[in-house]
Amino acid sequence: MVKIDEVATAAGVSISTVSYALSGKRPVSDSTRLRVEAAVQELGYRANAGARMLAGNRTNIFALTEPFRLDTHAPTHMAFVLATSIAARRQDYDVLLLTEEEAAAGMRRVADSGLVDAILVLDVAPRDRRVDLARQLEITTIFIGVPDDRDGLICVDLDFEAAAALAVDRLASAGHENLGLIGHPAAAYEHSNFPPRVRAGFVQRAAELHMDASFRTTGDALVSAAATRAAVGQLVDAGVTGFVLHCGDDAHITVLAELAERGLEVPGDVSVVSVGGTFDTTRFAIALDCVPLVPTASCDLAVDLAMRALGDTAPAPGVYLIAPIYQHHGSVGRVAAAED
């Protein structure tokens, strides 16, 4: 790796002059600056993070805080980590991943060290301890998720309430009047912000349309096949004909298997819509209509807002929601009573 003294030798100047020319800390003549820039280009020199910090420039590093817990659904969360990393690289940024469960400690550590230019926050809880810390730290912080207390924060996410409402509207248009939502394990409604938002959107839209609506989880702390099958049975026994699924791949597979074992065909007897999944719903035994969660949409927007905050057009605090899109794959049919 090329060092700053090699740039100085090639340009015929001192090391301090190279530093001044690159950082702008002190004025240098145009001819000297051009010689330094030419040497930098020829040698392929890149200042390391420590040097950039000393010079008062950007480190070109984002911290990404993603606390992994026992109930973390790794495929979904890693999809967001990957999407954020790709978006950052497009801006010539690297990502420092903070995975410890005590996420606030990691945030404070990198902020105090000056190692990163901004912090991106994943796996946002409804009552997230990182919220108060973000307000205290003098560093740009972007939440990919929406906590209950979001005053003064910059948050981005899919509009989960609207996504659930889209699914309810589609089922209502097919004549379904009794709906059931099968969600994540119960613990997710304490630790994550988006499951409660899907549930709230589902319940609210069903109430507005005067529809019966029930909710079941797929376990307590972790997904349970037995709990998922029991949830399907309870909803079928209650007369549900329209199912909304907001859960992981394994729970989707179990739901479809249980419906089949009960002799119920999709979409002949019951209809199913998946909401807020990061997977391909056409891969299942039955391709499912869905309102997808696209990690790249949220992460691209978060990185864009971070870059704007570091520049001259800082975004205003607020919640930046991504409009949901409904994808038809043939898993919604009209109920018999609604047929002409």
pLDDT (tens digit per residue) in 112-123: 888 899 999 998
Most confident of 10-14, 15-19, 212-216: 212-216
- Shared domain check, 276 and 192: yes
**Domain identity same for 330 and 234:** yes
Between CA 217 and CA 181 the distance in angstroms is 8
Task: Render the burial of 11-43: b for 16+ CB within 10 Å, e for the rest.
Answer: bebeeebbbbbbeeeeebeeebbebbeebbeee
How confident is the model at residue 282, as a pLDDT?
93
Q: Two tokens at 178?
A: 């009794």
Residue range(s) defining the domain that contains residue 86: 61-158+295-322
Per-residue pLDDT at 338? 43
pLDDT tens digits along 288-299: 999 999 999 999
CA–CA gap between residue 102 and residue 66 (Å, rounded): 10
Q: What is the DSSP letter of 151?
A: T
Residue 72, pLDDT > 70, answer: no
Q: What's the pLDDT score for residue 191?
A: 84
Same domain flag for 179 and 227: yes
Looking at the fold, whether 126 and 237 belong to one and the same domain comes out as no
Structure tokens at 267: 């979409």
Q: Is the pLDDT of residue 321 over 90?
A: yes
* 103, 217: one domain: no
Based on the domain organization, do 215 and 193 belong to the same domain?
yes
In this predicted structure, the answer to whether residue 89 has a pLDDT above a threshold of 70 is yes
CATH number at residue 26: 1.10.260.40
On whether both 105 and 135 belong to a single domain, the answer is yes
CATH at 248? 3.40.50.2300
pTM of the model: 0.79
- Give me the number of domains the chain comprises: 3
CB distance 215 to 178 below 8 Å? no
Rounded CA-CA distance 190/237 in Å is 28
The rounded distance, in Å, linking the Cα atoms of 6 and 43 is 8
Question: Tens digit of pLDDT for each residue in 118-165?
Answer: 999 998 989 988 999 999 888 999 999 999 999 999 999 999 999 999
Residues 245-260 pLDDT 10s:
999 999 999 999 999 9
Residue 277 has pLDDT above 90, yes or no: no
- pLDDT-based confidence at residue 223 (cuts at 50, 70, 90): confident
Both tokens of 246, joined, read 């907001």
Q: Are residues 179 and 99 in the same domain?
A: no
Same domain, yes or no: 29 and 65? no
- Assess whether 29 and 116 both reside in one domain: no
Same domain, 81 and 122: yes
Verify that 71 and 206 share a domain, yes or no: no
Helical packing angle, 30-43 and 15-23, nearest 10° = 100
Q: What is the pLDDT of residues 91-107, one digit of tens each?
A: 999 999 987 666 678 88
Please provide the average confidence, as pLDDT, over all residues in the chain: 89
| pLDDT score recorded for residue 340 | 41
